[in-house]
Structure 1
Amino acid sequence: MAPKGRSAGCEGHDDPAALIPWLLAERAVSPLYQPIVDLSTGNIVGVEALARGPAGSPLEFPDALFSAAARAGMMPLLDQLCAARAMEIARDAGEGVPPLLFFNAEPAALNQPYTPDLLAVVLSERPYRAVLEFTERALADHPAALLNIAADVQWTGGALALDDVGADPLSLAFLPLIEPEMIKLDMHLLRDPYAPGTVATAAIVGAHAERTGAMVLAEGIESEQDVATARALGARWGQGWLFGRPGPLDALVGRPVDRHAQLRPPRPKLHLPDGTPFGIAAVRNHSRTGDQSMIDALTGYLLSTAAEAGSHAVVLGAYPDPAVGRAWLPRLASLADRVAFTGVVGPGPIAAAPHPVRMAVAPAGGPAATETVLAVVGPHTAAALCARPDPDDGVDFVLTHEPDLVHAIARMLMRRLDTAAERPAPTVIDRWADPAAVAR
């Protein structure tokens, strides 16, 4: 760790970005930890790690630190270093750390080959459960990467937290796809608890938590009135200056800790379902045979369902026939400003940018290459149509409204939305099986 004060490594540089190589070489980040408490008891259930650079240096505070790393082209390495140091320090604190450690990391950074330091601490024995926090924008920007990383986290016994929920319609739209163990309500909800948007957000989050067993946490708690408001909005845990500002772990010594606090158990296969969309849909549903006119009519039904779901809907599709894409894209584009996210996978070339629909070129071959799929997902919406050519005549299809099946189908489509240049790195399972992949 870097010493307090202005380190010799920080001298003689006008641009803080020039300090980043030194900081990485010295591993000179010093995370602080903010307590998370059970609102009914006041006991600490976890801590959130917050990155800090060397004290007294131009890189001390996170805005300057990460801005400098971005300018230096070293953001992934810095992000991985911050995650590794947060987990190492908490691990070495032994019984002094609460049972849950929350930390932030950008999916784009974790989608790079893991550094040896990060991989070592991820796979080490730790006295806490790690909880990776991310925002809704992470899924929109890097869908395949985030789902791949989510599987890594679950496989290593960790958990997921969706941060700033309520700050953007995307957060509620993507809740069913991520199914995080923790939902963190954005602090602005506490400041305006009776606003229609706040009430709607709390209701949607509450319904999701009831269905999935997720824990709800309120951020920005500064007073006892905030505690009462947070509980009224459905939060059971809380975080904010009322319970403590960020500081070293030993600042929590002597405070009551709930050693039995826990989140839902990990589900390693949730984010990377096996099979194809049609195969998943047909598991619990009998496939039917129809003609193209029937498929077109059902497509119209799903697009109407998406329009009714509004700003909290995600619409995803895949098609092997360019003619289908030509028919779909204008209709999806007309939906793009009414729903949270639209994306399709099809044969190239795709429409020229800019286009309101996120598009990716479908990989050639494979069992899914002949399937036409359309899925609509929202807080209270689940519908998917999966079709493939019948060996004899017509089209075999399955229409399902079962949420678990629709969500699995949608995750498959989300993972295919990244272009070849953005394909996710091997999972931690792959890296563990092939240690040489760590250095690649």
Structure 2
Amino acid sequence: MPLSPSSFRSRVSRVSRTLAPRSRRTATVEAPALAALTGGGEHDDWSIERVLAERAIEPLFQPIVELHSLRPVGVEALARGPAGSRLWHPRPLFAAAVAAGRLAELDTLCAERALELARAAAAPPPLVFVNAEPAVVDQPPSARLLELMTSDPPFRIVVEYTERSLAARPAALLQLAAAIQSHGHGLALDDVGADPMSLAFLPLLEPEVVKLDLQLLRAPHSPRTVEVVAAVHAVAERTGALIVAEGIETEDDLANARALGANWGQGLLFGGPAPLAPFDEAGIADTADLGSASLLRPSRPGLHLPSGTPFEAAAARGKARQGTAAAFAAHMDHLLRRAHQDHGAGAVVLASCTDAETALSWLPSLRGLAERAAFVGLVAPLDPAAVGPGVRFAAGPGAEVEECAAVVIAPRYAAALCGRGGHESIAFAHTEDRALVASIARIVLQQLPR
């Protein structure tokens, strides 16, 4: 049977909504455990070390539903510590792990326990969403987590990231995304719309699922919401991603989510975080109404770690042509000028060059863009002190044959320029093919610090 919003009203009314703003791992706090936020009682002896040693993580699960039929399609796992303790709630739990220098261990344990409970369910859900902590994306997965992900689980795993993950450690996240895809699982980008950076990185991660920030539901007609939703739909139409609206608590929220074009949704209207119950297979929406988990786009191994150089990627698509160094410089001036004039805000700007003199000539433009863009990166054989603040930098190698590239990706504009050759003659490619531009950008991002 479809879930009925009205059937959840009594349940929703019992849940406090007076706490601090929701976090990725928090959702809304259940009323019986509110006391855990302020302390675990006089005899609470739970420490983060004990939690980790005893694997004392008991995740709760929140349903994700198809928004037209209101049938469930999967669940999101939400971290919880020992019940009744001061570490029950994720905020103090993760704060304790950070203070002890054990965030990576806790993040891994939360994912392991979520997958273990989902596998043990009498009727596992077809999709299990798990969160990944941005600060530890560069840590290798544990043997247990690899086992859970690769030993033919009875569901598909969707790993959620925020844009902070890619901005902080782009090369590490791309490698992790590639590993997840290689095992047939999916990616979700969370909190899209909360920060311009999320839209900027959307084409680079190209996730299976895009989760709209819950504040968009609260202001569905604002210019900012309309701008975000238009950009998200453009990506979804091009890539086949599904859109999820979070924070649906009322029937007005449901109407807004549908109007925003979300395919799926989650929130207290459909159920709060709770122990995992047998998933009702009859409740999976029919494939005709975009509700079936089987309609989640297939994985695409290799997408996030393209091989070769930027020029080789462009040449392989037949984009290269012969010209002069002056022609290449004119195209570079055009690309950087357009980025400055129209698309600097919220853009990802990347550059790489094997020639130090050429890279130095680009630095004024890159520094200027760094004041407005979501992310600016440079790979070149330069002294880091010469680069200055605002530009993410990696010292790349020099080469006998110079090769340079520049990429601009913004919500409504994408372009790349790649060249190879000497000072007299150069082969170059100037493309606005979004798929190719994103691939070139990933090649450059792989070279930035992990």
Report the TM range for the smaller structure's normalisation.
0.7 to 0.9
Unaligned runs of 5+ in 1: 423-440
Q: 1:400 to 1:244 in 2, by over 3 A?
A: same
- Give the superposition deviation at 1:252: 6.0
Q: How high is the sequence identity, in percent, across the aligned residues?
A: 51
Which residue of the partner structure matches residue 301 of structure 2?
268
- The answer as to whether partners of 1:80 and 1:109 remain within 8 angstroms in 2 is no
Q: 1:153 to 1:107 in 2, by over 3 A?
A: farther
- The answer as to whether partners of 2:134 and 2:168 remain within 8 angstroms in 1 is no
Q: Secondary structure at the match of 2:201?
A: helix
- The one-letter amino acid of 1:327's match is S
Q: 1:414 to 1:12 in 2, by over 3 A?
A: farther
Out of 308, 321, 339, the position equivalent to 1:306 is 339
Across the two proteins, how many residue pairs are aligned to each other? 407
Show the 5 A alignment for 1:406-417: 406-417=437-448
Distance 2:406 2:318 in 1: 16
* Root mean square deviation, CA, Å: 2.5
Which residue of the partner structure matches residue 388 of structure 1?
420
- The one-letter amino acid of 1:124's match is S
Is 1:320 matched up with 2:393? no
Distance 1:34 1:314 in 2: 33
- Give the superposition deviation at 1:299: 1.1
After the TM superposition, which of the residue ranges 374-383 and 349-358 deviates more from structure 2?
349-358
What does the per-residue CA deviation read over 1:313-348, in whole Å, with 9 as the maximum and x for residues that have no partner? 211000112212221111111112222211111113
Distance 2:318 2:329 in 1: 20
Distance 1:167 1:124 in 2: 36
After the TM superposition, which of the residue ranges 30-39 and 336-345 deviates more from structure 2?
336-345
Q: Secondary structure at the match of 1:28?
A: coil
Which residue of the partner structure matches residue 88 of structure 1?
116
Distance 1:107 1:370 in 2: 35
Which residue of the partner structure matches residue 65 of structure 2?
37
- Give the superposition deviation at 1:290: 2.7
Which residue of the partner structure matches residue 203 of structure 1?
230
- Give the superposition deviation at 1:114: 2.2
Distance 1:240 1:213 in 2: 24
- Give the superposition deviation at 1:269: 0.8
- Give the superposition deviation at 1:255: 8.3
Show the 5 A alignment for 1:4-403: 19-94=47-122, 96-250=123-277, 256-258=283-285, 260-262=292-294, 263-307=296-340, 308-351=342-385, 355-363=389-397, 370-390=402-422, 393-403=424-434
- The answer as to whether partners of 1:306 and 1:339 remain within 8 angstroms in 2 is no
Distance 1:55 1:77 in 2: 20
- The one-letter amino acid of 1:266's match is S
- The answer as to whether partners of 2:324 and 2:425 remain within 8 angstroms in 1 is yes
Taking structure 1 as the reference length, what is the TM-score of the superposition? Answer: 0.87
- The one-letter amino acid of 2:436's match is L
- The answer as to whether partners of 1:84 and 1:121 remain within 8 angstroms in 2 is yes
- The answer as to whether partners of 2:44 and 2:85 remain within 8 angstroms in 1 is no
Distance 1:225 1:38 in 2: 16
- The one-letter amino acid of 2:298's match is P
- The one-letter amino acid of 1:22's match is R
What does the per-residue CA deviation read over 1:224-256, in whole Å, with 9 as the maximum and x for residues that have no partner? 111111111110111100000001012766983
Q: Secondary structure at the match of 2:86?
A: coil
- The one-letter amino acid of 1:245's match is G
- The one-letter amino acid of 1:200's match is E
- Give the superposition deviation at 1:287: 2.3
Q: Secondary structure at the match of 1:217?
A: strand
Q: 1:406 to 1:206 in 2, by over 3 A?
A: same
- Give the superposition deviation at 1:110: 4.1
Unaligned runs of 5+ in 2: 1-32, 287-291
- Give the superposition deviation at 1:291: 2.9
Distance 1:345 1:20 in 2: 40
Distance 1:301 1:381 in 2: 13
Distance 2:328 2:220 in 1: 44
- The one-letter amino acid of 1:76's match is A
- The answer as to whether partners of 1:107 and 1:145 remain within 8 angstroms in 2 is no
